[in-house]
Amino acid sequence: MAKWLLFASILSITVSVSSQTFAATLTTANLTPNNLVITEYLANPVGMTDADGEYFEIFNTTSHSIDLGGLVVRDDGTNSFTVTALLLAPQSFAVFSNSDGTSLGITPDYMYGGSMTLTNTADEIGLYRQDGMAIHQLIYTDGDFFGAGIAHELDVLNWTTPAVVNGPASGADFIAASALLPFNNNGSPGLAGNTTINLAAVPLPASVWMFGSTLGMLCWLRHKVGKAAHLALEALTHDRQTGSNGLDSLGAANAAPTGR
């Protein structure tokens, strides 16, 4: 009974630690490249000013919520801003917009105002930690490659998506959006749109490895305890049959002639 109580106690502790690990919220200081990926951008909206319609979208590729407070976003010039507060759920999108999104009929998750603009020709969007480590970068050389008002959507998002992606005039990482937005704009801010997302093969977190290791150890202990109990039972049966006990046998062995 005692060994099963031990088994249950260790199992309970392991599950508790695993649950806490899965529930942990990451901060920007914990992020590594591609934990966040830029998945869509509209640099040249039609039927409105750029300030009213520009946006870009990011995706949380991890299995944890991320507190984006402190995330630095900047272009290839002097424009930049630092996110003050935004919690992004696991494997979810967040839309960043120059305005409140009214003109496009959207509700952005974060409004950066005039701190940054997306030029219609060549520009860059970079996501950085406070210490300068790049989380993800988008480089484009034509902000309306598919035509004015058509957003650019990442073609494929998976575990091999590069940490630096290129707009269609610089590479083949992005494709044209087709979902309709007001004023003949196309885009799918906050949704996958035409992006193919394949993140099924998620690397196992440390808690799963720990859980498996603990189960293996418990099975080994159970085997050892069971074997010891079996040997003790055999010894007891032998003693009953011979009318002796373990101490008598030990004494007899010690008293045996040495043969000298």
| pLDDT tens by residue, 20-77 | 344 489 999 999 999 999 999 999 999 999 999 999 999 999 999 999 999 999 998 8
Final residue before a domain boundary, out of 180, 198, 216: 198
Residues 214 and 187 in one domain: no
Residues 129 and 63 in one domain: yes
**Phi, psi values for residue 128, rounded to 5°:** -135, 150
Read off the CATH number of the domain in which 59 is found.
Answer: 2.60.40.1260
Final residue before a domain boundary, out of 198, 225, 242: 198
Q: What is the pLDDT of residue 8?
A: 47
- The reply to whether 170 falls in a domain is yes
**Phi, psi values for residue 238, rounded to 5°:** -65, -40
Q: What is the pLDDT of residue 241?
A: 61
Q: What is the pLDDT of residue 76?
A: 86
Q: What is the pLDDT of residue 247?
A: 45
Residues 191 and 213 in one domain: no
With a cut of 50, list the residues of the chain below it in pLDDT: 4-23, 202-210, 246-247, 249-256, 260
- CB-based contact 150:193 (threshold 8 Å): no
Q: What is the pLDDT of residue 156?
A: 95
Q: What is the pLDDT of residue 201?
A: 53
Q: Residue 61 corresponds to which amino acid?
A: T
Residues 186 and 244 in one domain: no
Residues 115 and 180 in one domain: yes
Q: What is the pLDDT of residue 172?
A: 77
Short-list 194, 241, 259, 256, CA closest to 57: 194
User: In 10 A of CB 174, how many CB atoms?
Assistant: 27
The residue range of the domain holding 52 is 31-198
Distances in Å between the alpha carbon of 7 and those of 3, 123, 172, 218, 246?
6, 58, 54, 7, 30
Residues 73 and 178 in one domain: yes
pTM above 0.75, yes or no: no
- The reply to whether 189 falls in a domain is yes
User: CA 211, CA 15: separation in Å to the nearest integer?
Assistant: 7
Residues 165 and 242 in one domain: no
Q: What is the pLDDT of residue 250?
A: 43
User: CA 70, CA 82: separation in Å to the nearest integer?
Assistant: 6
- CB-based contact 25:64 (threshold 8 Å): yes
Distances in Å between the alpha carbon of 183 and those of 45, 47, 102?
9, 5, 12
**Count of domains forming the chain:** 2
Residues 44 and 168 in one domain: yes
User: CA 101, CA 182: separation in Å to the nearest integer?
Assistant: 11
Q: What is the pLDDT of residue 169?
A: 80
Residues 117 and 7 in one domain: no
Q: What is the pLDDT of residue 253?
A: 45
- The reply to whether 258 falls in a domain is no
Residues 212 and 165 in one domain: no
**Per-residue exposure over 57-93, b if at least 16 CB sit within 10 Å of its own CB, e if not:** bbbbbbebbbbbebbbbbbeeebebbbeeeebeeeeb
- The reply to whether 92 falls in a domain is yes
Q: Is 100 left (phi over 0), alpha (psi -120 to 50) or beta?
A: alpha
Q: What is the pLDDT of residue 200?
A: 80
Residues 233 and 105 in one domain: no
Residues 232 and 193 in one domain: no
Question: How is residue 177 written in tokens?
Answer: 């959006």
